[in-house]
Amino acid sequence: MRVVLTHRNAVWLDLTDPDAYNNSIFSKNRKTGTEPAMTHIQGTHHMNNVYAVISDIHGDSKCLSSALKTLESYDISFYLLLGDLINHGPRNGLSREYNPLGIPELLNPLRHKIIAVRGNCDSEVDQKLCEFPLTAPVNTLIIGGHRAVMTHGHIWKPADTEKLALSRNDIFMSGHTHMPVLERNSRGVIIFNPGSLTFPKGPNGIHTMGIIDEKSGTVSLLDISGKKLNTVSFLEQDSF
């Protein structure tokens, strides 16, 4: 179960029911353009969820399809999308497999498992195509008893963890730079950028994404084939 908070009301969505979205305010308002923006999502669960973390797809349906295929083996509970889903972005050009309409075709069937934030290349038109809310600039979850802030990274940045009152073992997730990062800052906050599926700017041009596993208490950076590149635990008890 998750609760969605808006400036107008609160809506409960049962994630065990794929049709729950269709009976919610989001489905009813999506086509009219009046869908409220989410401000926060907080989960209550059995502490054994597996989260896929994906950012900066930029309309490449082949890369997204490959990533989703890889993630099938992880029994994903939720897909955390950090923005820039459909539009290629004027500074990126077009990928070889640019197919913007293919992105909602792949993601909409997963809508009951998707939590998303808006990137600087996402628009109101994109929301019309997607059957899940994607207009919030920030969402906050509780993962493994810790706060996990997800945002695109063009407004709220890793340097803002103190302003956000994040502490040791909390997680700050952002994309935007297309540069994969998985490390702790001086406050002990885990800084996680899963990189870009489509336009990687990290070492060797590796297409990357991430996994957060509550049962093992780990955040992992993966390449698109599923190979683990780095892992950090959010169960560490050492104090600074």
Q: Assess contact for 189 and 171: CB atoms under 8 A.
A: yes
User: Residue 6: what pLDDT?
Assistant: 61
**Strand 218-223 and strand 208-213: pairing?**
antiparallel
User: Residue 236: what pLDDT?
Assistant: 80
Q: Assess contact for 181 and 193: CB atoms under 8 A.
A: yes
- Total-model pTM: 0.83
Spatial distance between the Cα atoms of 195 and 179, rounded to a whole number of angstroms? 5
User: Residue 100: what pLDDT?
Assistant: 92
Return the higher-pLDDT residue of 9 and 80: 80
Parse the chain into domains and list their residue ranges.
42-233
Q: Which of 13-17, 62-66, 199-203, 204-208 has the lowest mean pLDDT?
A: 13-17
User: Residue 46: what pLDDT?
Assistant: 57
Return the higher-pLDDT residue of 4 and 49: 49
pLDDT band at 182 (very low <50, low <70, confident <90, very high): very high
Spatial distance between the Cα atoms of 22 and 18, rounded to a whole number of angstroms? 8
Residue 146 pLDDT exceeds 50: yes
Q: Which of 45-54, 70-79, 106-115, 158-167 has the lowest mean pLDDT?
A: 45-54
- What average pLDDT score do residues 111-133 get? 95
Which residue, 92, 118, 103, 120, is CA-closest to 201?
Answer: 92
| CA distance to 92, 104, 155, 172, 173, per residue, from 81 (Å) | 19, 12, 16, 13, 10
User: Residue 181: what pLDDT?
Assistant: 97
Cβ neighbours of residue 82 closer than 8 Å, sequence gap 6 or more = 53, 54, 55, 56, 116, 117, 119, 150, 151, 152, 153, 173, 174, 175, 176, 194
Q: How confident is the model over 7-17, as pLDDT tens digits?
A: 544 333 444 44
- What average pLDDT score do residues 151-160 get? 96
Of the options 3.90.320.10, 3.60.21.10, 2.60.40.10, 3.40.50.300, the CATH number for the domain spanning 42-233:
3.60.21.10
Return the higher-pLDDT residue of 184 and 202: 184
User: Residue 47: what pLDDT?
Assistant: 72
**Mean pLDDT, the chain, whole residue set:** 84
Q: How confident is the model over 18-74, as pLDDT tens digits?
A: 444 444 444 444 444 444 444 444 454 457 999 999 999 999 999 999 999 999 999
SS3 content of the chain, % helix, strand, coil (to 5): 20, 30, 50
Return the higher-pLDDT residue of 205 and 15: 205
Residue 114 pLDDT exceeds 80: yes
Q: Hunting for tokens 């993601």 — which residue is that?
A: 107
